[in-house]
Amino acid sequence: MKTPIKSIKELIHELLNMSVDNTYGSVMKRVDIDPLDFEPYISWNEDHHTRNLLYKCSEFELLLACSLPHQKTAIHNYGHQQGWAVVISGEMTEVRFLGSESFNSVVEISKNILKPGSVSYINDYQGLHQFINSNDGKTLTLHLFVLPFERYKKYNTETEEFEEVPISYDNDFRDEFK
């Protein structure tokens, strides 16, 4: 069994130097980074979860999402790319949906509670999803997107329509990981 990944820099190194016997999923399953290592990259916002970019290259991007109690993402896809999420601290509920742009509708198909160390994977063929900080504490999740994408679709629950939106970040820490 491969050794656990104990730092953000080590994770980036592993992702940049993938070998034939590695997959992105197998690398993310080895993430065992102390939540204190993320301290300089944490930001909180009372109105929404924050997206803090750690690293981005042509193959992937890595970001830290910070969620206050009961905050949630929009129901969204991954812009035809793949996404992994690892819970670093706290607890997150992932709700998965099947969606139809033709009918402007989504149907919940599953709900999973993710605890520290849990890894989730999704791509657009599997449907859409939403993350909800389902506990009374703060939650940190580390996200890997392969390939990076500039736009994605979210389902607006008020208008009951899909909307294409640009990717945005609350903070950009890429310079610290060059």
Whether residue 79 has pLDDT greater than 80: no
* The pLDDT of residue 45: 98
**Of the ranges 43-47, 99-103, 156-160, which one carries the lowest mean pLDDT score?**
99-103
Q: Is residue 50 part of a domain?
A: yes
Q: Is residue 8 part of a domain?
A: no
* The pLDDT of residue 140: 98
When divided into structural domains, the chain yields a total of 1
Q: Is residue 19 part of a domain?
A: no
Q: Which range marks the domain in which residue 144 is found? A: 36-177
**Of the ranges 2-11, 122-131, 160-169, which one carries the lowest mean pLDDT score?**
122-131
* The pLDDT of residue 123: 82
Q: Is residue 20 part of a domain?
A: no
Q: How confident is the model at residue 20 (pLDDT cuts 50, 70, 90)?
A: low
Q: Is residue 14 part of a domain?
A: no
Whether residue 1 has pLDDT greater than 80: no
* Residue of 157, 150, 26 whose CA lies nearest to 80: 150
CATH number for position 55: 2.60.120.10
Q: Which residue has the higher pLDDT, 111 or 147?
A: 111
The C-alpha angle 170, 108, 90, rounded to 5 degrees, equals 45
Find the mean pLDDT for residues 151-165. 91
Q: Is residue 149 part of a domain?
A: yes
Q: Is residue 47 part of a domain?
A: yes
